[in-house]
Amino acid sequence: MELRSGMVAVVTGGGSGIGRGMCRSFAAEGLKVAVADLDEGAAKAVADELSGKGVKAIAVRTDVADLASVEALGAAVDAELGGVDVLCNNAGVFIGGRTRDVTPDDWRWVMSVNLDGVYNGTHVFTPRLLARGAGHIVNTASIGGFLTAGEAAVYSATKFAVVAWSEALRGDLAGSGVGVSALCPGPIRSSLADCDTHRPAELSGVGNRSDVLWDMIKDGLEPDEVGPIVLRGIRENAAWIFTHPEWKGAFEERFGAVLAAMK
Ligand SMILES: NC(=O)c1ccc[n+]([C@@H]2O[C@H](COP(=O)([O-])OP(=O)(O)OC[C@H]3O[C@@H](n4cnc5c(N)ncnc54)[C@H](O)[C@@H]3O)[C@@H](O)[C@H]2O)c1
């Protein structure tokens, strides 16, 4: 899809990391931006930064795990920005730890943000995009949506599901003017390793931790480097948007093993 000045982008998890990077890239192209985040202060800081550069931007406190909250985001975007052209279902959280140690609270939290969040965004915004007859949806999955890591089972389970959901939605919407991409980043030096702080009180029982991620991402790309890659993916209507082509060998190994098992 062509991106033009005056279009509107909605980015969940836009207050930090990859989401903030995408907000900055959209704004640099002249798009209006809705910065949606559970952390209202972070969303406001990003919206203020973009407004300071002359771009119309709003901050909307949103919990992607809560359908009513995402519906309110849709209404705010309609009222304040006049509709949506690009939706980035990007908010996400991580926990590590052994698979057998994943607690019911761990499971519910990560599923509710990473998977329900993508469903809720799709449910609320797809009819709006279809009504316009044009647009693009970017769902943030991960390289962990194709490759399993021993210590990130619940995270990887959500990201495999986001890849599957994105591929299916892309098929459903083919010919409608609305494209769909699964963004599959490798390690990005964001605040994801601190995401335990976003855990709701009712799901805060003893469980696995997010900070074990830091060792995996501390040498990664800077989050702002992802924005331009996403813009290229939208323009090309790429089914998958990767940030680390150097991981190709690991994909060959995985899919080679899958094919070898089909005898
Ligand atoms: N950092 C990486 O290495 C990496 C790699 C692959 C995929 N990802 C994915 O990228 C996405 C963005 O993560 P990031 O790395 O930029 O992390 P980040 O922690 O810097 O940003 C995530 C943002 O999501 C927000 N958030 C958390 N729970 C929310 C909720 N319930 N509702 C709304 N917002 C919520 C946080 O407040 C934060 O601003 C996630 O989906 C993550 O899984 C990250």
pLDDT tens digits, 149-196 = 778 999 999 999 999 999 999 999 999 999 999 999 999 999 999 999
Which one is catalytic: 94, 146, 155, 242? Answer: 155
Scan for tokens 């976003």, then name that residue: 198
Amino acid at site 83:
G
190 CA closest ligand 1 atom index: 20
The CATH number of 8-261, from 3.20.20.70, 3.30.565.10, 3.40.50.2300, 3.40.50.720, is 3.40.50.720
Distance 12 CA to ligand 1 centre (A): 9
Residues 62-79 have pLDDT tens digits of 999 999 999 999 999 999
Q: What pLDDT score does 209 carry?
A: 85
Residues 93-143 have pLDDT tens digits of 999 989 999 999 999 999 999 999 999 999 999 999 999 999 999 999 999
Q: Which of 187, 207, 185, 188 is nearest to 196 (CA)?
A: 207
Local structure of 50: helix, strand or coil: helix
Cα torsion 23, 26, 31, 33 to 10°: value is: -10
Mean pLDDT of the chain: 96
CB atoms within 10 A of CB 263: 4
15 falls in which pLDDT band (50, 70, 90)?
Answer: very high
Q: Which of 164, 196, 20, 163 is nearest to 93 (CA)?
A: 196
Percentage of the chain exceeding pLDDT 90: 93
- Which residues, 6+ apart, have CB-to-CB distance to 248 below 8 Å? none
Q: What pLDDT score does 46 carry?
A: 99
Q: What pLDDT score does 31 carry?
A: 98
Q: Residue 205 above 90 pLDDT?
A: no
Residue ranges lining ligand 1, Cβ < 6 Å? 12-13, 15-19, 37-39, 42, 62-65, 90-94, 113, 140, 142, 185, 187-188, 190-192, 195, 198, 217, 220, 223
Cβ proximity of 146 and 251 under 8 Å:
yes
| Higher per-residue pLDDT: 206 or 215 | 215
81 falls in which pLDDT band (50, 70, 90)?
Answer: very high
For ligand 1, atom 25, the nearest C-alpha belongs to 13
For ligand 1, atom 7, the nearest C-alpha belongs to 142
112 CA closest ligand 1 atom index: 31
Distance 201 CA to ligand 1 centre (A): 19
Q: What pLDDT score does 117 carry?
A: 98
220 CA closest ligand 1 atom index: 3
Does the annotation count 119 as an active-site position? no
64 CA closest ligand 1 atom index: 32
Local structure of 8: helix, strand or coil: strand
207 falls in which pLDDT band (50, 70, 90)?
Answer: confident
Count CA within 13 A, CB hemisphere, residue 13. Answer: 27
Q: What pLDDT score does 3 carry?
A: 98
- Residues 142-151 have a mean pLDDT of 90
Distance 25 CA to ligand 1 centre (A): 17
Q: What pLDDT score does 208 carry?
A: 82
Q: Residue 219 above 80 pLDDT?
A: yes
Beta-bridged to residue 86, according to DSSP, are 9, 136
Q: What pLDDT score does 150 carry?
A: 73
Residues 16-41 have pLDDT tens digits of 999 999 999 999 999 999 999 999 99
217 falls in which pLDDT band (50, 70, 90)?
Answer: very high
Distance 262 CA to ligand 1 centre (A): 36
